[in-house]
Chains A and B, each alone.
Chain A
Amino acid sequence: MQRQAEAVERARLAGERIHHFHGGLRLRHNKKISCEVPLERVPLPARLFVPLLQHAGSDLANALVQPGQAVLKGEPIGAYEFPDRGFVHAPTSGTIVAIENGPIAHPGGQAGMRVVIEPDGLERWTTLSPCPNWPGADPQDLLETMRRAGLVGLGGAVFPTSTKVQGAGAAGVHTLILNGAECEPYISCDEMLMREQAGKVIAGARILRRAVGAERAIIAIEDQMGVVEQVLKKALAASDAEHVEVVRVTTIYPEGGERQLIQVLTGLEVPSGGLPQDLGLLVQNVGTAAAAADAVIEGKPLIERVVTVSGNGVKRPRNLVALFGTPISALIEQCGGYEDDVQRLVLGGPMMGYALPTDAAPVIKAANCILALTAKDIQAPQPEMPCIRCGECARVCPAVLLPQTLHWQASNGQWDDARDSGLMDCIECGCCDFVCPSHIPLLDWFRHGKGMVRKRAAEQAAADLARQRFEAREERLARIKQDRKDRIAAKKRQMSESSESKKKVAEALERARKAREARSGGDDKQ
Chain B
Amino acid sequence: MKPLPPSREFDTSGAPHFSPDVTVQRVMRDVLLALTPGIAACAWYFGPGVLVQIILAILFALGFEALMLRARGQPLRLYLPDLSAVVTAILFALCLPPLAPWWIALTGMLFAIVIAKHLFGGLGHNVFNPAMVGYVVCLVSFPREMTAWLPPVSLADASIGIGETLRAIFTGAAPGGLGWDAVTQATPLDTLKTGVDHGQTVSEIRSAPIFGDFGGLGWEWIANWFALGGLWLMWRRVISWHVPVATLGSVIALGLVAYVVDPGSSPSPLQHVFSGALVLGAFFIATDPVTGCTSTIGRLWFGAGVGVITLAIRRWGGYPDGVAFAVLIMNMAAPLIDRFTRPRVYGEQVGRND
Contacts and interface: CB of A to CB of B under 8 A. Distances in A.
B207 interface: no
B8 A272 contact: no
Interface in B275-295: 289-290, 292, 294-295
Interface string B45-81: 0000000000000000000000000000000001100
Given A271-B347, A395-B240, A404 B13 contact: no
Contacts of A353: 15, 17
A439 B19 CA distance: 9
Given A385-B78, A389-B124, A390-B289, A338 B8 contact: yes
Contact of A378 (B18, B237, B289, B299): B18
Contacts of A46: 1-4
A390 B27 contact: yes
A75 interface: no
B12 A356 contact: yes
B143 interface: no
A358 B4 CA distance: 14
B7 A389 contact: no
A44 B1 contact: yes
Contacts of B9: 357-358
Interface string A37-70: 0000001111100000000000000000000000
Contacts of B292: 389
A2 B352 CA distance: 10
B345 A272 contact: yes
Contacts of B296: 394-395
A409 interface: no
A135 interface: no
A272 B14 contact: no
Query: Would you call the interface of chain A mostly helix, strand, loop, or mixed?
Result: loop
B177 interface: no
Query: Which residue of B21, B82, B289, B338 has the most chain A CB atoms within 10 A of its CB atom?
Result: B289
Contacts of B6: 329
A425 B13 contact: no
Contacts of A330: 2, 4-5
A45 B346 contact: no
A388 B122 CA distance: 10
B179 to A, nearest CB: 46
A354 B354 CA distance: 40
Given A270-B347, A388-B290, A389-B289, A350 B342 contact: no
Nearest to B12: A355
Interface in B227-259: 237, 240
A400 B4 contact: no
B345 A399 contact: yes
B144 interface: no
Given A3-B354, A121-B1, A385-B78, A272 B348 contact: yes
A434 B5 contact: no
Nearest to A383: B78
Interface stretch (A154-162, A229-237, A341-349, A478-486): A341-349
Q: Which 4 residue pairs across A and B have the least CB separation, nearest first?
A: A386-B124, A360-B7, A355-B12, A272-B347
Interface of B: 1-24, 26-27, 78-79, 82, 84, 122-125, 237, 240, 289-290, 292, 294-296, 299, 338, 342-349, 352-354
13 contacts: A273-B347, A338-B8, A343-B11, A346-B15, A350-B16, A351-B17, A354-B14, A385-B79, A388-B84, A389-B289, A399-B346, A425-B345, A443-B14
Interface of A: 1-4, 21-22, 43-47, 103, 109, 119, 121, 259, 263, 269-274, 327, 329-330, 332-333, 338, 343-346, 348, 350-360, 371, 373, 377-379, 381-383, 385-392, 394-395, 398-402, 404-405, 421-422, 425, 430, 433-439, 441, 443-444
Given A46-B1, A386-B123, A433-B15, 8 more contacts: A3-B353, A327-B5, A332-B5, A344-B12, A345-B10, A388-B27, A389-B124, A394-B296
